[in-house]
Structures are given as structure tokens and as C-alpha cells.
A and B are shown apart, each in its own frame.
Chain A
Amino acid sequence: MSDLAIEAKGLVKKFPARAGTGDKQPTSPTSMPENKKKRWQFWKKEPQATFTAVDGVDLQIKRGEIFGLLGPNGAGKSTTIRMLCTLLEPTSGTATVNGFDIVKQANEVRRSLGTVLAGERSIYWKLSGRENLEYFAALYHIPAAVAKKRVEELIERMEIKDRANELVEKYSTGMRQRIAIAKALLARPPILLLDEPTLGLDPQAARNLRELIATLKAEGHTILLTTHYMEEADQLSDRIGIIDTGKVIALDTPEKLKAQIDQQEIIKLEVTGWQEYIGEKLRSISEVGSLVARQQGEADLWEVNLQSNNSRAVLPKIVEHIGQNGTRLVNMNIVKPSLEDVFIQLTGKALRD
């Protein structure tokens, strides 16, 4: 058996420009066929414009590791996962899951996978938690007697025993997410695909889920996790692939990715009355690498992150530029680079833009 749980070679997915995949892609590359001459030929269909959601992704995920696929909304994470779990056919390229080809051996791939997509919406709200698990156990071809035991085991593990017979519509988001994860674990598949598993969870529920993911790895599962939470990817993943506009732009361990910009320092500013022209002025300072400004909630408070290899030299210049025309510096910190800073350096934009 191969050491690789998942292997993708040059995976490409193109969609007609007006279609989507769940990934919103307002800025994704769109291409038109060469012949642009417009002729009225009602018997001939105009060549359709396409956009490329995934553009030549290569992945090698080892057995037993947690691999984090990190990227902003619309980067191509969900499309990649949907191809790997056989919901989508690649336009070109190949991939194997547990040694099975995702196109030619789709059923074997589905048997090898436990997938969490769309979280709480992936289960039936008019059924109880237990009924949901019994139903999906049958779909995953688990023998009846084994299924009964396995459902009880997962109900215990997910700590929903007291409410297992209640309808899912009465559950909290966190409980529904636990049922969705229990569903993915039912057949005890060797590989788990978790698409944004902590999205919409409160901090405590998200922490519990991260602990569960770590335990599942310890039990021998290979986990492909997509997220746009940097801390989550950093904390859980053995290796991380950073994906943007359909391409994997960096792939390594979190430590090595951060080491790429280890010589840099990150200056985090909190500013009120931020103006875009100040950003341009700060970018023009030679010691400043990249700059990303984000508004914090509804208030006129902005978080501005700058990368610099000489913060001592650059700080007076920053303070000088910011203290103009009603812009006020509220707070300032110099910190070690995080994965988000790696992402900013690679793409020039923040992960949650």
C-alpha cells in the first residue's frame, strides 16, 4: 500500500463563467475562447467563457498526517475537496484517494472517505441525532448489528447521549456540527475530509472540535482540513498548503513556512481615521515590505499590519505619517510572524479579504 493517502497531479477544474461551486470567485481568472468575432448563427452555440476554480493543483498527503489547505474564500479549497470526494469531475489532471482513482473508482473512493461538507446543513433536521446516524450508517453499507453499536459509540463520544432522540432542529449549531462529524466517522474511514469544520461555532465548541481532530489523527486517520482560520491550521496541521486563485502557492510545515519570513518583524497598528493615501505613503518607505489594512467591525478602527526587516528604523517614519489629518494611532505592537503574515507576503492580501 502506498504511503500516500491522497495524491493529486495537475488537478484543474474549470466552470462555465456563470456557474459556481460554492466558492465565490469574483476575481477568479476568466478566459474566453480565441475567436471573438460575433456572428448571429442561431444554430451554432457561442463558445462559452470559463473561469478556472482550480488551476493545476499538485498534492501529496501522507497517511496519518493532518494536512491543512489554507486560503481565502473563493481560492479553490472547496472545489479541490469536492473533486477529491467525487462530487465533481476534474476538467484535467488526476487524483487518487486511498490508492483509488477519483473518476474511475469513485465508489471505492467514497468508501475510503468520511467527509464534512456544509456542516449543520448536511444532516436532516426533521430526524433525531440517532435517526440521522442510523440512516447514514445504512448508506455507508455498515452491517446492521455493527451500525447499532457504532452509532451508540459515536453518540457517547460526541456527548449527545441525553439528547440523541431529540429532533436535530432543536440542537445548537455546535451539536449539529458534532452530528455531521459523527456521520463522517460512522464507517471508520481511513481518510477524513473536513471542509471548514469550525465555521460558525462558538469559541468553546471550536476548541472542542480541534481537540477531537487531534485525537482522530492519533487514532490513525489521515485528515485533509480546509480552513481560513490561520491559528487553527497552525495548531493542527503537520503540513500546510496555501492556495490562492486556484493554485497552491506554498506548501510546507507551519514552522518552515513561518521561517520563510523569520527575518521579518510584523508591526501591528490600530488606527482611527485611516485613509488609503496614508497606506500608499507607508508602502513607499523602503524598509516596509507589505501592508494590509482591515477595518475592525462597524467602528472607525482599523488594524494595519506591516512587514519590515528593520522595525527600529521604520517606526519613527510610520508615526510621522500616521499623525496627520485626523488619523490617530491607538495601539502598536511588534510581533513574530504568523502564518497569516506568510500568506500576506505571498499574496499581498489578507486571508479574510
Chain B
Amino acid sequence: MNATSLAIPSFTSDLRAFWAVVRREWVIFVRYPSWIISLLIWPILFPMGYLLTARALSGVDGSGLTNFQNTTGLTEYVGYIAVGTMIWMWQNIVLWSVGYSLRNEQMRGTLESNWLSPTWRFSYLLGSSVPQMVSMITLLIVSGLEYALLFGVKFNGSLLLTMLVILASIPAVYGLGFAFASVVITMKEANAFVFLVRGIVMVFCGITYPMAMLPGWMQSVGEWLPQTYIIHAMRSAALSTDGFAGISHDLAMILIHGAAWLLIGYVMFVFMERRARQTGAIGQY
């Protein structure tokens, strides 16, 4: 008897393979229950230090808030800080999880067995980001609820516009993650890069203060980072009543950055995949 292959390649089979990666990642994710802790506790714990510092500086009666209001046009400083730190946290988690997704597969030993199949190799990175994306959007929603209920933050803006900003931010945030994943698989260890990027975002994008507080050259650097626009747009959409006009410029910048970062992420992946075939880097861990 001759062995006859059961594989039937088609566009649908490629989609099914992509969906299989998404499902696999989701099943493995929920089988590690520590995600509940990060989902519920981390969003409250992380901005707490900034919030208490802000309270100390503004005075117990809030008399020091006038300056803040003059600079930002907002009175809700808790919400202001919470939105900035949430975006920072989102990018940070993406760098660790999406950025290290291929590396984790490599260390488990499953990366090679995936790459032995005829599936488009970028789907492994793309597919494993989807559950992460779902969990992060859930995290943002849970965080919003926690701030409203525990800190009394008044989200005066529009839920619809907030969701629009979140969706528009996905390409920029994840494009950076894809680029990182390729760096990590080549260099094996890229913690220093993650620390560097999140440090830059923390200082140059105004996660807890308005950009106007920065010297001119630092503001110029910040203008090249998508997180600056994401934070600004999110604050405007969630906390102010400016409507679409308040976010339109930021939204355009976020989409331009998103397209650029997605392209950079894909090109770096293709470059890494080719280099790995030449150097054998995929099998090394």
C-alpha cells in the first residue's frame, strides 16, 4: 500500500491553522490560573504609588490641583494617572508576553515542531497574540470598573470612543511586540531591551504628567512614540467631553504609527526566520 497524504492546502486550511494556534494559546493560558491575580490585583496596585504621590503634592484638600487643571484641562487626576499607567502596563505586558512567545516555544521545544508544518509561520506569532489581546482588553475594562468603584473616578467621556482608541492602538502596541519577538529569538535574551523601551515610554510619553512638563527636546522624542498619542487619546476619550474632535488628530497618528510598527514587526520576523534557517537558531535554546 502506498502512503497518501491527507493534507489539502487551501485558504480555509490556513485560516483553520491560524484559529488552532489561537485556541491552543487560549487553552494553555487559562490552565495557568495565576492570570486571575494579574487581572484583578495588578491594575490597582501598580498606579497606587503614583496616586499617593499625587495626593501628597496636591494637598489633602486638593488645593494644589489648580495647576494640574490649568495644564491638562481636567480635574480627575486619579483617572488621568490611571489611564497613563494602564497604557504603560499594556505595552509592558505585550513586550513580555508577545515578545517572548516564540522564545517560550523555543525553550519548551515546540517551536521546531510547529515550524515543521506547512502553516504560514507568521500565524504562530499572530495567533498567539489574539488570546493575549482578549485578556488585555478585559484587563482594561476590569481596571476601569475598579477605578470607578474603588476610587470614585468619573469617566465623563464616551465608552464608544474609548473602545475606538483601544482598537486603533492594537497595531502599534502589537507591532512593537512582533518586532521584539524577532529580536528575542535571535538574541535569546532581551530583558535589557524591554527595560529600556518601557523606561522610555514611562519618561517620554507622559504616563503620569502632561507632556508640557517635559523640556522641548524630550517632547520631540515623545512625538515619535505611538504611546504618547494613545495615552492622550485615551484620556480625552474616557475623561473629557470633547468627543471625536478631541481624539481625531491622535487617532490619525496612532494609525500611522500602527501601520509602521506592523510593517517593522513583519519585516523583522521575515528577516529573523531567514537568518534562523541559515544559523540554526531555532533549534538552539
Contacts and interface: CB of A to CB of B under 8 A. Distances in A.
A215 B17 CA distance: 30
Given A111-B5, A127-B28, A143-B13, A121 B283 contact: no
Of the four ranges (under 10, 10 to 19, 20 to 34, 35 or more), the interface on chain B belongs to: 35 or more
Nearest to B28: A126
A19 B284 contact: yes
20 contacts: A15-B279, A19-B280, A22-B284, A79-B280, A89-B277, A89-B278, A110-B118, A111-B9, A122-B113, A126-B27, A135-B23, A139-B17, A139-B114, A139-B119, A140-B118, A142-B7, A143-B8, A147-B6, A190-B4, A220-B2
A333 B50 CA distance: 80
Given A112-B5, A186-B6, A190-B2, A124 B24 contact: yes
Interface stretch (B86-94, B104-112, B252-260): B104-112
Given A87-B277, A112-B5, A186-B6, A138 B20 contact: yes
A88 interface: yes
Interface in B1-34: 1-10, 13-14, 16-17, 19-21, 23-24, 27-28, 31-32
B67 interface: no
Interface string A13-43: 0011001111000000000000000000000
Interface of A: 15-16, 19-22, 79, 82, 85-89, 107, 110-113, 115, 117-118, 121-127, 131, 134-136, 138-144, 146-147, 150, 167, 180, 183, 186-190, 219-221
Nearest to B4: A188
Contacts of B1: 219-220
Given A16-B279, A107-B118, 12 more contacts: A21-B284, A89-B278, A107-B9, A110-B117, A121-B109, A124-B24, A124-B110, A139-B17, A139-B21, A141-B17, A189-B3, A220-B3
B8 A22 contact: no
Interface string B24-61: 10011001100000000000000000000000000000
B116 interface: yes
B195 interface: no
Contacts of A180: 113
Given A144-B16, A188-B4, A85 B118 contact: no
Contacts of B20: 134-135, 138-139
Given A21-B280, A89-B278, A141 B8 contact: yes
A187 B113 contact: no
B279 A122 contact: no
Contacts of B109: 118, 121-122
B193 interface: no
B19 A122 contact: no
Interface of B: 1-10, 13-14, 16-17, 19-21, 23-24, 27-28, 31-32, 108-110, 112-119, 277-284
B6 A190 contact: no
B9 to A, nearest CB: 5
Nearest to B108: A121
A147 B6 CA distance: 9
A117 B8 contact: no
Contacts of A87: 112, 115-116, 277, 280, 282-283
Nearest to B31: A126
A124 B28 contact: yes
B221 to A, nearest CB: 28
Given A107-B118, A190-B5, A141 B13 contact: yes
A143 B10 CA distance: 10
A289 B189 CA distance: 51
A127 B27 contact: yes
A350 to B, nearest CB: 26
Contacts of A186: 6
A82 B284 CA distance: 12
A146 B13 CA distance: 12
A121 B283 CA distance: 12
Given A19-B280, A89-B278, A188-B4, A135 B24 contact: yes
Contacts of B5: 111-112, 187-190
Contacts of A136: 113, 117
A143 B28 CA distance: 24
